[in-house]
Structure 1
Amino acid sequence: MRRSLCAVAGVVVCLTATPAAQQAAAAAPTVTASTTTVLTTEGRTALTYTGYMNGESFQQDGIVTYNGWQYSAYWDQSGYVNIARRHLPSGAWSSLKLTDYATTSTDSHNTISIGIAPSDGTIHLAFDTHSSQFRYRKSVAGLATSPTTATWSTSSFGSVQSALTSTSMDVVTYPQFFAHPDGTLQLAIRTGYSGTGDEVLYEYRSSTWTSLGTFIDGTTAGNNAYLFGIEYHTYDAATPLLHATWTVRETSNASTNHDLYYAYSKDKGRTWRNNAGTVVAATGSNPLVADANTLKVRSIGQNRGLMNQESQVVDAAGIVHVLASHMPASSADNSDFTSARETAVLVHYWRDKATKVWHQDYTPFLERSSRGDIAVDAADNLYVVSGDSSTRKLHIQTASKASGWTDWTIRYTSSAIYYSDPLIDHRRLTSLGMLSIFAPRYGGSRIDVQDWTVSG
């Protein structure tokens, strides 16, 4: 029997449980506070779209571990990109302020995403882009692969560029980096606008970017895909799969977000397969159709307060997990998105790799206009870190693989000091068993990095 939880103002305050439910809660992983370090006290404080320019769910990645070092990036109050690193497990943060470019934006869409190319150890930064010209720079080779010998200085980063190839990048948003196990770095980014845009794919090899073309077409139908995530999984080392999930928006109004869509690729995004495994698209020449019925795996109607771009992760068994949030099934439709979000709960969707069936599990956790992040440990247990824009509290929720991820339990609730979207260092959790959280404080100037040991 499942537990019964009570929620007041987005915080779980009571739990009525049978012995079986108590056992389930006990199985969910626990977290133990290790350290909290201060990344900066000079973060950009402008608040727009209920968030900051530091800490938004679509930053892939905003904090990431590579080769024993952890990296993060943030805007300071003067509008400069700062890139920071520390030697794990307990080194101090060392930040570089890149002062040759200053933003004037206060738009929280204009975040900084970090990509690391295993092939040559370059660090890539994409930033300050919301339906506007692309902005990007990369480091010298070896900066990430030889961190103790390569020079860590502002001179290690090249100049700001407005395109990766000869292909125009004048109206783009949401850069997302991800690496193939063979060392190839790739970038997905939206062209066009909210309600009418495409997803395009680029690839970095031999120190050069190549445009692969559009892989999700939304402009033909006058809508756009919002990715929950795009990432590789290596359960089959010979053929790593690239998984992508998204929701579709019909207009610029978030109330028109609808449904969960899924596709995967066996050849670095050149061709794409639907949930059944049938090849249905080719990047560049015959892209995925954003709202195709053959790609829809779960129905979520419009006017359900469905938030775009929450989070996705793939576990060691190849099971795709999506964190979404929308109103419970029992709630009536609500076309006022802000109002609908007041009753939206976190929902866990996951694809059984063997049967290809997508499952849905409602949790009792509220978050209002914030967005959460979902991550997996080496044993395929799940961790969700989410905020609540009304209470300004941060939560850590966990679920065990042994329960089939049904024993969701709140393991931590912060004081009312955090805001915007928390970000998890996914790689550190899976490889080192440490939960690291990029957590902006309310007001935006201070950003914490919380470290938690996990067990379960």
Structure 2
Amino acid sequence: MAGSLVPAAALAQAEDADRAYITGWDELASASHVSDGMERSRDGSPIFTGPMGAQAVSYNGYQYVVYYTGRDRTVDREEASSRVVVARRQLGAFGWQRATLQNYEVTSDDAHNRQTIGISEGDGVIHISFDHHNRPQMNYAATAVGVATNPSSVEWDDNVFTYAENLGGDASERLNVTYPDFTPFPGGNLLVYFRSGGSTGGEMRVARYDSETGSWGQVRNISSRRGTFEGEETTRGPYLAEGMQVGGDGSLHAAWLFRERPCDFTTSSRSEIFCNHGLFYARSEDEGRTWLRADGTVIADTEAGEVMSIDNLGGPVFDVPKGLGPSNPSITSTIDTASDEMHVLLRHLPGPGANGTAYFHYLGQPDGTWTQNRTDFDGNNASLTVVGDRLYAFVGRDRGQIYYAERSDNFRRWRRLDIEVGERGKFDPSGGFITWDLSMLESGRATMLWHRDPESNGVSSPLQVFDISFE
């Protein structure tokens, strides 16, 4: 099923666009896996339910989408599974080709076990990782060299990807992987970030893929879960703001929250977000070996066995205490590769005892100073990106909306850019799980991936793709 709503038009840059509109859509999968939440249920109540979503990246005229197939709920749980699929198409068309990963079945029912995809542009290898929530080994697969560089010459079938635990390294090593994320370096290499361990006892780890040798380097631990907080020796885990960000010069930038253990806010009326606090920031100018504070002070040299911890970070760059409930599902970041400014969106209460939360925009300057500004838009899981002098927030998860702010007013005023459909309609999706492919935004294009709500808990549901243009 595919639809084209308007004729193809000359693409405008999103930098000064005043409209966004759907140019076409398709149903990529009639049934994609929806978690019933029973894997981590408590007292028979499901936890981490909902659509598993999809992740996409575009490169060299093609788009690649990784997702899970549907699951048969009529058979015993032990017999039910899904498969990992990577679909591709030429940009601007909906002629999908699909490659199903061999030798791996998704048996988990945990909505945190989502996918990630990245491309090492130096050698044209496509990398995927999937199905983790504190899993001992990393699930990983990759193509051969040149697949993304010369896509038209590749037969897209079930043999395209090869599965390898732990990035092809020692499969017996326990990495305890959660939230892996790929980030490309400007020179063609690739970074993978993940949290090792749980939410209150986790550590940040990174590894670098070298496109010249076609291999992954050592998985490097860059943070410690231990340290003293509020006078007590405790443990904590990091919630990074949508992975690592890479500057135009190849520098790495990380912004995150910590979740403390123990925490005195986990009551029936307050969730675990009231164990979170921040905002923390660090950067590296040597691909993750040495880490610096915002003011340039060295925090840790990981090659010398040092790591970042709450004891040596020098405090948060902006104090967001536990009582404000900073939300780990609603923290995201991007870096302006032209100005080296770091942008972070974080949802939390505006003050102790406030009735509702709001998104706050935190802006970090290259000189180490940070400012805060309250926004006036709603939503969850917004993806941030900079195009020229415009900062975009693409709201995802259960709502698909586009907002932007501009440098001319110091990013203080946020405007909504409605998504048009047809001649007079507005496209305002809600429910399910929405993600975005923003790889082509500078060319005036974006893709929304909408995994629809199920008819009932755990029942597989459609995964749809919408192409959006800007002018």
Q: Report the TM-score when normalising by structure 1.
A: 0.81
Q: Is the 8 A contact 2:102 2:159 kept in 1?
A: no
Cα-to-partner distance string for 1:253-307 (whole Å, 9 max, x where unaligned): 3321111111111111111111001222122511111575525111111132311
Q: Name the stretch that deviates more: 276-285 or 263-272.
A: 276-285
Per mean C-alpha deviation after superposition, the further-off stretch among 113-122 and 90-99 is 90-99
* Paired letter, 1:273: L
Aligned residues: 402
CA distance in structure 2 between the aligned counterparts of 1:400 and 1:421, rounded to whole angstroms: 28
1:304 maps to 324
1:271 paired to 2:285? no
Question: Which position in structure 2 is the counterpart of 1:58?
Answer: none
1:359 shift after superposition: 1.8
Residue among 31, 34, 41 paired with 2:20: 31
User: What is the match of residue 42 of structure 1?
Assistant: 31
For 2:312 and 2:469, the matched residues in 1 are separated by 42
For the Cα contact (< 8 Å) 2:126–2:147, is it kept in 1? yes
State the alpha-carbon separation in 1 of the partners of residues 18 and 335 from structure 2: 18
1:241 counterpart = 2:241: no
Tell me the equivalent position of 2:244: 230
Query: For the residues of structure 2 that align with 1:96 and 1:324, how far apart are their CA atoms?
Result: 36
Look up the match of 2:450: 439
**Alpha-carbon distance between aligned partners in 1 of 2:282 and 2:390, rounded to the nearest angstrom:** 23
Aligned AA (1:84): A
The reply to whether residue 424 of structure 1 matches residue 430 of structure 2 is no
State the match for 1:288 in structure 2.
308
Output the CA distance in 2 between the equivalents of 1:327 and 1:169.
37
In structure 1, the partner of 2:79 is none
Distance 1:363 1:41 in 2: 37
The 1:301–1:441 alpha-carbon spacing in structure 2 relative to 1, beyond 3 Å, is same
Distance 2:353 2:312 in 1: 26
1:366 is aligned, of 378, 395, 398, to 378
Partner of 2:64: 71
Asked if residue 196 in structure 1 is aligned to residue 201 in structure 2, the reply is: yes
Amino acid in the other structure paired with 1:257? N
Offset of residue 164 of structure 1: 3.9
Q: Where does residue 187 of structure 1 map in the other structure? A: 192
- What displacement does 1:230 show? 0.5
Q: Which runs of 5+ in 1 are unaligned?
A: 1-26, 56-61, 334-339
Q: Which amino acid aligns with 2:90?
A: H
Q: Structure 1 residue 216: deviation in Å?
A: 1.8
- In 2, the alpha carbon distance for the partners of 1:346 and 1:71 equals 31
What aligned pairs does 1:126-165 form with structure 2 within 5 A after superposition? Answer: 126-133=129-136, 134-162=138-166, 164-165=168-169
CA distance 1:366–1:448, change in 2 (3 Å): same
Paired with 1:388 and 1:141, the residues of 2 have a C-alpha distance of 33
Structure 2 Cα separation of the partners of residues 383 and 246 of structure 1: 20
Aligned-residue offset at 1:170: 4.5
| CA distance in structure 2 between the partners assigned to 1:203 and 1:106 by the alignment | 30
Does the CA contact (< 8 Å) of 2:139 and 2:166 recur in 1?
Answer: yes
Structure-1 residue corresponding to 2:364: 351
- Once the two structures are TM-superposed, the CA of residue 408 in structure 1 deviates from its matched residue by 0.4
Judging changes above 3 Å, is the alpha-carbon distance between structure 1 residues 380 and 435 closer, same or farther for their aligned structure 2 residues? farther
Q: 2: CA distance between counterparts of 1:273 and 1:127?
A: 30
1:113: Cα distance to partner? Answer: 0.8
Contact 1:82 1:98 (8 Å CA) reproduced: yes
Q: Report the Cα offset of residue 246 of structure 1.
A: 0.7
State the Cα RMSD in Å. Answer: 2.5
Is it true that 1:325 corresponds to 2:347 in the alignment? yes
Measured in 2, the distance between the counterparts of 1:105 and 1:213 equals: 27
In structure 2, the residue matched to 1:381 is: 390
CA distance in 2, matches of 1:247, 1:283: 21
Measure, in 2, the Cα distance between the counterparts of 1:381 and 1:416.
22
Check conservation: 1:225, 1:290, Cα contact below 8 A. Answer: no
Deviation at residue 88 of structure 1 after TM alignment:
1.4
- Give CA deviations for 1:203-245 in whole Å, capped at 9, x if unaligned: 22212222142112224541011110302111x4xxx211111
Query: 2-side partners of 1:152 and 1:28: how far apart?
Result: 36
Q: Percent identity?
A: 28
- Counterpart of 1:211, as a letter, is Q
- Rounded Cα–Cα distance in structure 2 between residues aligned with 1:402 and 1:452: 26
Report the CA distance shift for 1:52/1:169 in structure 2 as closer, same or farther (over 3 A): farther
Q: By how many angstroms is 1:439 displaced?
A: 2.5
Structure 1 contact 224–290 (Cα < 8 Å) conserved:
no
* Matched AA of 1:183: G
Write the deviation string for residues 36-68 of structure 1: whole angstroms up to 9, x where unpaired.
33332211122543643225xxxxxx2211122
Question: Residues 87 and 163 (structure 1 numbering): CA distance in 2 closer, same or farther, change over 3 Å?
Answer: closer
Q: 1:441–1:95: structure 2 CA closer, same or farther, 3 Å change rule?
A: same
* Distance in 2 of aligned mates of 1:295 and 1:178: 26
Distance 1:291 1:448 in 2: 46
SS of the residue aligned with 2:152?
Answer: coil
Retained in 1: the 8 A contact 2:377–2:414? Answer: no
User: Secondary structure in 2 aligned to 1:255?
Assistant: helix
Q: SS in structure 2 opposite 1:211?
A: coil
Query: Contact 2:118–2:127 at 8 Å: present in 1 too?
Result: yes
Which whole-Å CA distance do the structure 2 matches of 1:423 and 1:174 have between them? 15
State the AA in 2 paired with 1:319.
E
Could you tell me whether the CA contact under 8 Å between 1:101 and 1:160 is conserved in 2? no
Q: Offset at 1:365?
A: 2.4
Q: Deviations over 1:161-189 (max 9, x none)?
A: 24542371342211111121222212111
Unaligned runs of 5+ in 2: 1-15, 38-47, 72-81, 228-233, 263-271, 420-425, 455-459
Native 8 Å contact 2:34 2:50 kept in 1: no
Higher mean alpha-carbon deviation, 225-234 vs 251-260, is at 251-260
Give the whole-Å Cα distance in 2 for the aligned partners of 1:232 and 1:74.
Answer: 25
- Counterpart CA distance in 1 for 2:24 and 2:465 is 8
